[in-house]
Amino acid sequence: MRKPHALCLPFPTQGHITPMLHLAKLLHSRGFHITFVNTEFNHHRLIKSAALDPTAQMDGFMFERIPDGLPAQEINATQSIPELCASVTKNCSAPLRQLVMRLNGERGAGGPPVNLMVRDAVMICGQKVADDLNIPDVVLWTMSTYTMMGFFQFEELVRRGYTPFTDATQFSNGYLNTPVDWIPSMPDICLKDLPTFFRTTDPNDIMLNLCIQIAHSLPKLSAIIINTLDELEHEIIHATATSFNFKGPSYAVGPIYQLLQIQLPQSQLHSTIKSNSNLWEEEMGCLDWLDRFDPASVVYVNFGSITVLTPEQVKEFAWGLANCNHPFVWVIRPDLVSGESAVLPPSFVDQTRERSLLAGWVPQKQVLGHPSIGAFLTHCGWNSMLESICSGVPMLCWPFFADQVTNCRNACQLWRVGLEMESKVRRDEVEGVVREMMEGEKGKQVKQKVGELKVSARKAIEMGGSSHSSFEKLVNDLRVMKR
């Protein structure tokens, strides 16, 4: 049988690169040749953060790069998501095609011919290349299945006249509380619970139209791999599989990072494969700092890799955390705050010195796994949410945009593993909700619930568990998959 060669193409942001890299490592461990394609921009960031050693070589696992089509930018800056989406959609097909031609023309040096595209759903550019090569086009959906169902309603929202908005007042909560009652397995939801990219007055909005394009690309896919677990999303996984014209198989194999941990312990990895996907350098010292605190006593605050806060929001979070009197670790990426006044009030730093640690980027999974962490104030990115559940840490949910509002709704109302915060940040609310989580009755309830889900998630990735079995089937199917 010919060795499979998968071209792995993530959407170029942290929350998408990480699960794709984990999947690539898993496939490599099962004999797949892997070419992992980063953008030039991220390639340099990975080298700078020491996540990638450009000199390391490894049989059967190669890193390649293509331009993202955007003007050169300072390496620590957050790229605008709509601009990035527009640019990769428009500009990445040609360099990707050239890359594949080079790999296939290198007579062995590039490995066996590329015969499988494994791409992020957002990387529509990969579909064109898979079509040209007549190879299977497989999508890794890095977000939740509820989110997938939500994204795929956008055309219906347009058809029913919910979007584009006719005036700016519709961005406010009143309108966003409009019930949405036609989506299978998503009862009792409102417009505000759907991924935010439909919120526009512009019929030509990049994100609205890209989401519709992604939904259209679905029926042609050879397979969908979802970074989720059946135990969390059973009904919606089933509903999604039967709701669209998609005829191919879908595989719920998450949390992929846990599957990787159990199948490929770090100690067994070659240095290239060890490379992580951090676009920022990890500050490991925070783990020692956490050792000094009692179990479940510290609040961990992190808004992921692309959230940008206003100086006002930072100030309100800061004073809320200062006033709640619990110790906390707060990750403030160098590009977290918009504008120039990215400084925390000096009196806040003075007042919380003994019980706070501010860091630029931390090893999040290890932090969440540390016994002293009692709660996670999160923007509800899907990776963060899975990591929190797998560590049994309850969440304080402050969704920023995109799929995060859907994740927040599910965490707080469906799975009951989180407490929701208002979108307008107010110090007294921050203080109140932290206290409720750490000291109150509601906190106790969500802690118990997240503990139960942690156990289910662990079972899912162990031998015979839902994600484990799904992954075994995926590997077998991919080996023989034809277009």
Residues lying near ligand UDX in the complex (CB under 6 A): 13-16, 18, 142-143, 302, 304-307, 331, 361-362, 364-365, 381-384, 387, 402-404
Neighbouring C-alpha atoms within 13 Å toward the C-beta of 443: 17
> Is residue 16 among the annotated active site residues?
yes
Q: State in angstroms the smallest separation of the CB of 61 from ligand UDX.
A: 21
| Nearer of residues 137 and 403 to ligand UDX, judged by Cβ | 403
Q: 93-105 vs 81-91: helix axis angle to the nearest 10?
A: 50
Cis peptide before 255 (omega within 30 of 0): yes
Do 336 and 303 contact (CB within 8 A), yes or no? Answer: yes
- Integer Cα distance of 134 and 483 in angstroms: 6
Question: 99 vs 237, which CB is nearer to ligand UDX?
Answer: 237
Give me the sign of the Cα torsion angle 153, 159, 163, 164. Answer: positive
The Cα–Cα gap between 329 and 313 comes to 17
- Rounded to 10 deg, the angle between the 427-439 and 311-324 helix axes is 40
Give the active site residue among 68, 120, 137, 335. 120
| Nearer residue to ligand UDX within complex by CB, 162 or 376 | 376
Q: Least distance from C-beta 145 to ligand UDX, angstroms?
A: 12
Contacts of 34 (CB under 8 A, 6+ apart): 5, 6, 8, 24, 27, 28, 60, 61, 62
Give 275 or 384: the residue with its C-beta nearer to ligand UDX.
Answer: 384
Q: Which tokens hold the place of 125?
A: 């550019």
Q: For residue 33, give the H/E element and its range.
A: strand 33-39
Residues 6+ apart with CB under 8 A from 351: 322
CB of 226 to ligand UDX, least distance (A): 12
Q: What span, in angstroms and rounded, lies between the C-alpha atoms of 151 and 284?
A: 37
Least spacing, CB of residue 46 vs ligand UDX, in Å: 13
Q: What's the closest the beta carbon of residue 101 comes to ligand UDX, in angstroms? A: 30
Please answer whether residues 67 and 76 qualify as being in contact, where contact means their C-beta atoms are separated by less than 8 angstroms. no
The contacts of residue 466 (CB under 8 Å, 6+ apart) are 229, 230, 231, 252, 460
Nearer to ligand UDX, 284 or 448 (CB): 284
Please state, in angstroms and rounded to a whole number, the distance separating the CA atoms of residues 353 and 322. 10
Give the nearest distance from C-beta 211 to ligand UDX in angstroms. Answer: 14
Q: 310 — alpha (psi -120 to 50), left (phi > 0) or beta?
A: beta
Non-local CB neighbours of 257 within 8 Å, separated by 6+ positions? 18, 19, 22, 365, 383, 386, 387
Q: Give whole-number Cα distances, 243 to 82, 219, 453, in Å.
A: 28, 11, 27
Residue from 16, 28, 43, 379 carrying the catalytic annotation: 16
To the nearest whole angstrom, how small is the minimum distance from the Cβ of residue 359 to ligand UDX? 7
Beta carbon nearer to ligand UDX, 385 or 438: 385
Distance CA 34, CA 17 (A): 14
- As given in the structure block, the two tokens for residue 219 are 């029926």
> Taking the alpha carbons of 205, 207, 208, 210 in that order, is the dihedral positive or negative?
positive
Q: Which is nearer to ligand UDX, 135 or 211 (CB)?
A: 211
Nearest CB to ligand UDX, comparing residues 221 and 362 = 362
Nearer to ligand UDX, 376 or 478 (CB): 376
Least distance in Å: CB of 380 to ligand UDX? 7
Give dist(CA 413, CA 269) in Å, integer: 40
Least CB distance to ligand UDX at residue 155 (A): 21
**Contact criterion met (CB below 8 Å) for 269 and 472:** no
Mind telling me the catalytic residues?
16, 120
